[in-house]
Amino acid sequence: MALHLPQLPLEALLRGRALSEARGEPWAVIEGREVLACDAAARALGVRPGMALSAAWALAPRLRARPRDAGLEREALEAIAGWLCRFTPSVSLEPPQGVLAELRGSLRLFGGIGPLAAQLRAGLGEMGFTARLAAAPTARGAWWLALGSSEALLEERAQLERALAVLPVDALGCDPGSLALLADVGVACVGELMRLPRDGVARRFGQALLDALDQALGSAPEARACYRLPERFAARLELPAPVTQAESVLFAARRLLVQLEGFLAARHAGIRRFALRLRHRDARDGVIGIGLAAPAREAEHFTRLLRERLQAITLTEPVEAIALEAAALVPLPGASANLFRDARTEGEEWARLIERLEARLGGGTVQGLAVHPDHRPERASRRIAPLGGTQRAASAGPRPLWLLEPARRLREAGGAPQDGGPLELLAGPERIESGWWDGGEIARDYFIARSADAALLWVYRERGAAGGWYLHGIFA
């Protein structure tokens, strides 16, 4: 399978731009004084690739032109290669604008060439790229088909020969001199080139072209260097127009999160935390760190968590670029997220729910409960991390279902406690004296009391000098 990215110079620069912004200013990428690629807004104004920059400016005075950034393009290409690794281990780069992947072994897993191609297109789209896809039994054959913008998905060698034969020779990517010479001898398509005598072709155009032809047809083997996945994930994205809306940052971040999901799937791993770094022009970088209750890999899930966090903060400074980092990969069983996405257990859903709640409400807002062997009522119940908790022996006396934190001082009238009226003491006292060893000493007499409106309360009288009545619990 070959992926040709004709718009890469532009997309590498603009993929962080949300659709709502895309309708604004026209953009173009230039090389020297010539337009190399331009977006739909520029195209609508008449700007075309190959045009002189001065001519383009005459047509579109608001045109934003940026010189081509080879480094950014290379990064984008590697991002795509890394994402493709989720489908196959053998991916190789075809700089400057192509990626090749060996997918024959993965066809069955992904439901055949057609569905696989659709999945590739969708994924690339989510990352902000458009590609011409072509599949063929040989890598070079597929690449030439993609270059020749024939989006054929071929599985048989015989089909490949016919498809290549009708390709124009300029799809071969050979040097302009050779192309001119081919035109001079009247060769317009690959089929005519194949029919020329081999020794003549080798003499006039070099052995390299002949070898490439053999490789494309599969009669000679081709050795390609495989792309190697890095150990940790780090990706950045420039925002062409600095943004202050959380929604725009999220849009750009999603591009990277999809990339991350591919990377994790390729590594059969998940992560427990990731960080999004927001780069500002005039201020220090902001970092949003997100922790997960259980290792995960789905971009959808990451996006949800990030949305909650982004909504909670206000961006005071415009964001110029974002970077996503994830280290500490955890092995995550399950062959492919796509295959088993639906079969998620209730336990995982529960962990995800807690993450989602904490992402918006704040860390520590979701808690579990545990009993603790301590006679002091306020220490006999503990807040613990959710998803944990063990059952231990319950206490002896009757205990209320609600505990007030802290206990509320009650008024007194004639030595009897009052709470909106006199409290009638029904049962007690239960004396609790404990905690002298750690400074949290208590000495109390607990009673069960009934209020004037028939509620049952747990009250205590402080023993010792201070005295006084307190409401500590409610038998709800």
Partner 1 sequence: MAAPQTILEEILQRRAVWRGGALARPALPAVPSGFAVLDRELPGGGWPGGALTEVLCAREGVGELQLVLPALAALSASGRRIAWLAPPHLPYAPALAAAGVDLAQLAVVRAPGRRDALWAAEQVLRAGACHALLAWLRDARYAELRRLAVAAEAGPALVVLFRPEEAACESSPACLRIALEAAGEHLLARILKRRGALAAAPLRIPIDRPVHALGGASSPAAPARSPAARPCPV
Q: Does 456 bind partner 1 (CB under 8 A)?
A: yes
Q: Does 229 bind partner 1 (CB under 8 A)?
A: no
DSSP, residue by residue, 73-142 = HHHHHHHHHHHHTTT-S-EEEETTTEEEE--GGGTTTTTSHHHHHHHHHHHHHHHT---EEEB-SSHHHH
Q: Which stretch binds partner 1 (CB under 8 A): 37-45, 62-70, 214-222, 450-458?
A: 450-458
CA distance 267 to 130: 25
Q: Does 36 bind partner 1 (CB under 8 A)?
A: no
Q: Does 421 bind partner 1 (CB under 8 A)?
A: no
DSSP, residue by residue, 6-38 = TTHHHHHHHTTS-HHHHTSS-EEEEETTEEEEE
**In what helix (H) or strand (E) does residue 183 lie, and over which residues does it extend?**
helix 176-184
CA distance 364 to 262: 31
Least separation in angstroms between residue 452's CB and partner 1 is 10
DSSP, residue by residue, 303-337 = HHHHHHHHHHS---SPEEEEEEEE--EEE--SS-H
Least separation in angstroms between residue 456's CB and partner 1 is 5
Name the pairing type of β-strands 319-326 and 233-243: antiparallel
Let me know: does 35 contact 49? Beta carbons within 8 Å.
yes
Q: Does 301 bind partner 1 (CB under 8 A)?
A: no
Q: Which stretch binds partner 1 (CB under 8 A): 10-18, 34-42, 57-65, 376-384?
A: 376-384
Q: Does 342 bind partner 1 (CB under 8 A)?
A: no
In the list 395, 416, 418, 443, the residue contacting partner 1 (rule: CB under 8 A) is 395
How is residue 206 annotated by DSSP? -
Least separation in angstroms between residue 362's CB and partner 1 is 9
For partner 1, which is the closer residue by CB, 394 or 465? Answer: 394
Q: Does 403 bind partner 1 (CB under 8 A)?
A: yes
Least separation in angstroms between residue 405's CB and partner 1 is 5
Q: Does 366 bind partner 1 (CB under 8 A)?
A: yes
Number of residues lying near partner 1 (CB under 8 A): 61
Q: Given the rule CB under 8 A, which residues bind partner 1?
A: 346-347, 349-350, 352-354, 356-357, 360-361, 365-372, 377, 380-383, 386, 388-392, 394-395, 397-405, 424-430, 447-448, 450-451, 453-457, 473-476
